[in-house]
Structures are given as C-alpha cells and as structure tokens.
Amino acid sequence: MKNNKLNISGAEALIRSLLEEGVDLLFGYPGGAIMPVYDELYKFSDKINHILTRHEQGATHAAQGYARSSGKVGVAIATSGPGATNLVTGIADAQIDSTPIVCITGQVASHLLGSDAFQETDIIGISTPVTKWNYQITKASEIPDIVSKAFYIASTGRPGPVLIDITKDAQFEFCDYNYKKCNGIRSYLPVPQLQNEQIAEAAKVINSSKKPLIVWGQGVILAEAENEFKEFVENSGIPAVWTILGLSALPTEHPLNMGMVGMHGNYGPNVLTNECDVLIAVGMRFDDRVTGDLNTYAKQAKIVHLEIDPAEISKNVFAHYPILGDCKQSLKKLSNLVNKKSLNSWIGLFDNHMKIEYKSVIEKDLFPSKDGLTMGEVINSINKHSKGDAIIVTDVGQHQMVACRYAKFNSSKSNITSGGLGTMGFALPAAIGAKIGAPHREVVAVIGDGGYQMTIQELGTIFQTKTAVKIVVLNNDYLGMVRQWQQLFFDKRYASTEMVNPDFVKIAEGYSIQASRVSDREDLDNAVKLLIESKDAFFLEVCVEKEDNVFPMIPTGASVSDIRLE
Amino acid sequence: MEEKIQYTISIYSENNVGLLNRVSAIFLKRHVNIMSFSTSQSEIKDVFRFVIVVSVTEIQIKKLVQQIEKQVDVIKAFYHTDKETIFLESALYKVKSSSLFEERQIQNIIKDSHANIVTVSPKFFVIEKTGFRKDTEKLREDLSKYGLLQFVRSGRISVTKAPMGISQILNNFKNQNKKNE
C-alpha cells in the first residue's frame, strides 16, 4: 500500500494509517461524530474488518482480550459523547493492567468544541488520568503522525492505552497523506538503558542467598521474555511464584513453579515470602492484593526488582537492588551470572506448605465429598478436557480466584483476566477479542453470574460474528466474593448480594448459541467435554454450591504470613 | 509520620494542549494540594517549564516526580528544597490614588518596601513588589490598612543552583535518532 497520497479525506487518512500499523481489525460501535470514518471502513472492508460489539465497553474489553492473546495492539473505535464515555472502563482497565490498546473517538466539529453541542463530551479531560497518552485531532493533516505516535506509545516500554479524539470536520477535511512510522519521541524513553553494575550487584546478592524467592508478574509476558525467564529459573534453581497477571508465563507443571502469591494465592508462596532472604521481583508492581500489609511484607529480605517502569521502583516496596530495563535483556544477563543452587530444604518448605493447603483446602475444592458442585471441580474438568492448552478468560470475583488457582497452563498468554481494576463484565467481551486474536486456540470464558450480566449483551456479538467462544457461567445466585466478605467481616448481613437470575440457557438459545445447564456432579464431566469439543460457540451454566468461600485468604490489611486456611 | 516540607518541582516538557491537566491529575489522584503553580517558556526553544510548589514528605515527593516524569510529554522532572533553589514571587497591589495623597504614611511604606510604582492614574495606582513570600505578604498587610482595591500574587518562579542538563538529554535523543536513520 502506498504510504503517501494527495488530497484524501481525514477519515481515509485514518484508515490508511491504521493499515500501515498492521491493523486489520477494529472493535467498535458507530455514531454521528464518527460516521465519516465508518464510511471509509465500508470502502476498505476487504482490508480491515470491523466487529460490531453491543456496547462500547465491550469494544475496549475485546480490544484488550485481542491484545493479550496476540501480543499486538488492540483497537477500539466509538463515537463522541456517550460512545466515548462508555470506553472509559476498558481504558482504565488497560491502563492498570498495562495492555496496549488504541482507542479512537469521534468528536463534534471543531467550531462546536466547548459549546455543549449534541453528544459533546470532554473525553480528553475524562480519559487523561487513565491513558498513557491522549490527543485531540482538529486538522486532517495531523492524522498520520498522531496515529503513528499513538501505536508507538501504546506498544513500547510499559504498554498502555492511548486515546485519539478526532473532530468530525477533521474527518471530512482533505489533506495530503504521507505516513512515516514513529521510532522515537524526544520526551519519552520507553526502555531505560540497562546498567551492568546493577545486574552484577544483584547477581552477587542472589548468589550469596540461602532462601531466595522469585516473584514474577505480567512484565515477563509483555517483554515476551518467557524463555529467558525459564532459563533464569532453571539456571538458578530458585523457586518461583506468580502474581495473577504473571500466570501462564511459566508452565503450571514446571517443577520450580510454586504457585500464586496474594490475597487468595497459595499458602506456601505467601507464608514463605516472609521467610526468604532475597526476593527477586520480575516485572511486577507489588500491588496491595499481593503484598497485604506493607509494614510486614518481606521485611527480612533484600529486594531485587527487575522493572521497565522507573516509577515502580520503590513505589510500594523499597528495592535494594533495582534493575531497570527490559527484562528480556536483564534476565539473560542475570542468568549468566547466577550460580545453580541446591535449595532442597528451602524448596521442601514449599512442598510441606502445599501438603497442608492440599489437605485443608484443595482436596475439598477439587474432589468434594459434599453434594453441591464446587467451582474448583469445574476448573479441574476444563483442565482435563482442554489438556491445559486453552486460553482461560476470567471475570472478577470468586470464580476468578478459583480459576487462577486451579487452571493448568502449558503456554504463555493463556490467562486473561482483569487484575488491577477488577472489572466485572470484562470476561465475555475479552474472550471474544482473545479468540479473534488467537483463532487457533481454544478460548474458555469462566464467568460468575453477576459479572456475566454486566456485559451479557455481547452474546449478540458472538452470534453475529460466529466467534467460537466457550462460555462457562459458575452460577451461585450470589455476588459471591462480596457475600463471602459479608459472611466473614459483616456478620452475615448479605446486603444486596443475592441475585434472582434469569434462565441463562434460554438467553443463550435466543442468540442461537448451543447451551446446557448442569447441577449434578455426574453430568459435569460430559457437559464440559461437549463444551470443549464443540466447533462453535457454546454456553454452559454450572449451578454451584451457593455459599462456598474461597480460601486461603489474607484478610485486607493483614500480613501475608497471616494467611487463613479456613 | 515523616515531616512534610516545602518542595519545588521543576518540569521540562513539550508545550501540548492537555499536559497541564495530565500533570495536575497526578496531584489530584494522590490528594495533594498544589500551593503554587507557574508555567513559562524555558531556556530551550520549544521546551516549556513548570514550577510547582507542594508541601509533602520526602517519600511522597519522590513518587510524585517519578509519576510526572513517566508522562510521555515530560522531558524531565526534578524536585528541590528551598535551599537548593533561587526563588521568588511577584505581587501587584492596586490602591486608591486619593490615599496616596491623603495618607502620608503610605509613601513611607512604599519607599521602605523597595516596591515599584507601575502605574499612576487619577483614580488608582499600582505597586509591584518582587521577593520572598514574607516580603510581599508584609506589604499586603501594611497596605491593607489603607484599603487595597486589588491584590494578586504570582506563583513561585525559581531556578536551581545545580545544572539541569536538559540540552544534554535532547542532544542524546537527536544523536540516537541520527544513528537509527
């Protein structure tokens, strides 16, 4: 495609710019102020596909799912006013979970800006605190450079969402189009220069440690450093634990993968965080759900922090040995400097804790003796039939914690969930994006009955696009996580957490999606088997025990070592 | 609790619409009140400079500056204590002309304060005073007895004793780009 052309409309310049960035797919919803762009999308429909979601929030979550499963930049597009404000939740989610997306919004014509025109809203002002960068275009000639800059910013360094707001007159206006790919911005250093001294010093302290612990996060996945990370773990022989967004970067069955940290993480990883002597944090940001009470978090340990974003160094936990830079590079260098350790007794402690957790929690979750179905056994059945090869997309709440605790993953970019923002309604649209971003992979959305109904309209998108997403709703007729907190911390006053739910099977069938419901253990395995084997989209509702709780649990404000098993 | 002290934040940035909002949002998100704020052209063509004064702890100021510097359009951000900077503020005082003639004391106040008379008209005159907060504040107190029609004080402007090295950062970028080409 020619990267320059005389006298074309701003809208056409936008589509050509997107094509230059390798975009062949947008998620979006049309409306008045973005119509010139949609008109061009119609003309370019052989080159660029548009997926009509049923709500703009769905477009951003789908773009996120697409970005997380494919590693590419997701694109969402909407009109001005309510179209733009509906994007905001997805943008905020992408910001806190460092997901590269570019959002394009239409805006009222420039002469109307500030006049409270129909569907005018200050989306630049609104999105500023939740975007990595944003920009309002009022002249067609700005479009190529700004699009190029937007993709560069969204995808480099620590990725994040970028929003471009384009006034309607700029979409109509004619300009001479000339596309140049952005390869640098003078005020923006995406990747800090590696400092070999930092790596050498960290290697020294790691080599002298007796009880080192690696905690890895999504940074490993975003840097595409899975191989370098695995090599580092294996070269050093150090046990490794993960944050919820780091999950799947190292296969579940890897012998040094010791499980999850954080509020509903595994027993050993949490307790032993407060016993390690060196804590090596890789691409993670010490979220409060990971650390619990900061005053009692790993105080005995020297902290090594591999991080791309300088603002994360010592933000929550003081880093004695920061290693700034891209962890793909720093891990490689560090691997060469660390000695293989024999840490049998230290690793033995993880095994001991796992035995305790298995007996008091895991066994009951996965192989229950009571009548009611548990969320854990559903995940276990998905593991069995997907053989650990599926992408599992989760929403927010109990089902999310259970899925992340028990899902098995063989390969990276397989766990897609709303981590930092905790956005209910994320999973269904994100699963659509994930499936389109990785069409050859099985995508299973595991969702609670509450979150499902926040974006249930996206069943329409599945219906229309025939995207083969598998949907599992774990229905306990409660907003389960809030109910659990009410039970434990509010004397069982279940304020507004009980849900009277519709017939989910009928709703799915209304969209011509195959659907089934299970409430007995003897039917579960076969139902999951049919779900996974289906070539098309499939909906499965599992009626689980109403008042099950997720354990282990670190109560808010408690120390990670005070994790409760019941 | 760590002690809160006054810090001056200096930001070198691109001059883009919306950056002011982006910078102020960082303070808003952390519930930090801005005591003084001013922006201007810097010593480098096309580079803007913000000077912001806040009263926070050292841990807070470090994190604030890290977050500011993280913004794409920010070239570099610094923080300094008062001792590390040369700073001042300007103030304008509008007084009724009649009081200048009727109240002899007012002439002494102006003389003693080393303030400048900016404008004199039949109805009012305007005095300008530049200096530390306590100096402009003292003049405000002294004049208020005679009826101040208007008073306004600018945000703090400051330069640092240490060099900032912004040209170096921009040159490095230029050289890097040349290498890439």
In-domain check, residue B138: yes
In-domain check, residue B175: no
The pLDDT of residue B180 = 64
Confidence of residue B177 (pLDDT cuts 50, 70, 90): confident
Based on the domain organization, do B11 and B59 belong to the same domain? yes
Q: In which residue ranges of chain A is pLDDT below 50?
A: none
Q: How many domains does chain B have?
A: 2
Q: What is the mean pLDDT of chain B?
A: 93
Cβ of A185 within 8 Å of Cβ of B18? The answer is: no
The pLDDT of residue B147 = 86
Residue B67: which of A186, A188, A311 has the nearest Cβ? A311
∠A96-A102-A104 over CA atoms, to 5°? Answer: 125
Cβ of B72 within 8 Å of Cβ of A183? The answer is: no
CATH of the domain at B106: 3.30.70.1150
Provide, rounded to the nearest whole percent, the portion of chain B with pLDDT above 70: 98
Confidence of residue B176 (pLDDT cuts 50, 70, 90): confident
Q: What residues does CATH 3.40.50.1220 cover in chain A?
A: 196-350
Based on the domain organization, do B53 and B120 belong to the same domain? no
The pLDDT of residue B146 = 87
Q: What is the fold of A196-350?
A: Rossmann fold (3.40.50)
Q: Look up the CATH superfamily of A4-178.
A: Thiamin diphosphate (ThDP)-binding fold, Pyr/PP domains (3.40.50.970)
**Is the entire prediction scored with pTM above 0.95?**
yes
Based on the domain organization, do B76 and B17 belong to the same domain? yes
Tokens of A499: 């849900």
The pLDDT of residue B107 = 86
Phi first, then psi, for residue A487 (nearest 5°) are -65, -45
Tens of pLDDT, residue by residue over B49-93, are 999 999 999 999 999 999 999 999 999 999 999 999 999 999 999
Which residues from chain B sit within 8 angstroms of residue A183, using beta carbons?
A: 177, 180
Rounded to an integer, what distance in angstroms lies between the CA atom of residue B88 and that of residue B133? 7
Based on the domain organization, do B112 and B93 belong to the same domain? yes
Work out the widest C-alpha separation in chain A, in whole angstroms: 72
Based on the domain organization, do B20 and B75 belong to the same domain? yes
Q: What residues does CATH 3.40.50.970 cover in chain A?
A: 4-178, 371-543
Contact present, B20 and B94 (Cβ < 8 Å) = no
Based on the domain organization, do B67 and B126 belong to the same domain? no
Based on the domain organization, do B105 and B80 belong to the same domain? no
Based on the domain organization, do B26 and B12 belong to the same domain? yes
Tokens of A32: 């008045």
Q: In angstroms, how far is CA A487 from the centroid of its own chain?
A: 29
Based on the domain organization, do B12 and B29 belong to the same domain? yes
- The ipTM (two decimal places) reads 0.94
CATH of the domain at B42: 3.30.70.260
In-domain check, residue B178: no
Which residues from chain B sit within 8 angstroms of residue A310, using beta carbons?
A: 66, 69-70
- The CATH architecture annotation of domain A371-543 reads 3-Layer(aba) Sandwich (3.40)
Range of B37's domain?
5-86+158-163
Q: Is B30 on the interface with A (CB under 8 A)?
A: no
The structure tokens 């974006």 sit at A455
Based on the domain organization, do B81 and B93 belong to the same domain? no
Based on the domain organization, do B95 and B75 belong to the same domain? no
Based on the domain organization, do B100 and B143 belong to the same domain? yes
What is the enclosing helix (H) or strand (E) of A78?
A: strand A74-78
Searching chain B, which residue's CA lies closest to the CA of residue A154? B72
The pLDDT of residue B1 = 64
Indicate whether B104 pLDDT > 90. Answer: no
Instruction: Characterize A501-540 residue by residue with b for buried, 16 or more Cβ atoms within 10 angstroms of its Cβ, and e for exposed.
Output: beebbebbeebebebbbbeeeeebeebbeebbeeeebbbb
Cβ of B18 within 8 Å of Cβ of A135? The answer is: yes
Instruction: Indicate which residue of A43, A118, A387, A506 is catalytic.
Output: A118
Confidence of residue B181 (pLDDT cuts 50, 70, 90): low
The pLDDT of residue B175 = 84
Residue A1 bears catalytic tag: no
Task: Specify burial of residue A291 (Cβ count, 10 A radius: 0-12, 13-18, 19+).
Answer: buried
In-domain check, residue B108: yes
Provide, rounded to the nearest whole percent, the portion of chain B with pLDDT above 90: 79
**Rounded to the nearest 10 degrees, what angle do helices B104-113 and B133-144 cross at?**
180
Section B86-107 average pLDDT: 90
Residue of B72, B76, B173, B177 to mutate, testing the A interface (most A Cβ within 10 Å of its Cβ): B72
Write the CB contacts of B45 (distance below 8 Å, at least 6 apart in sequence): none
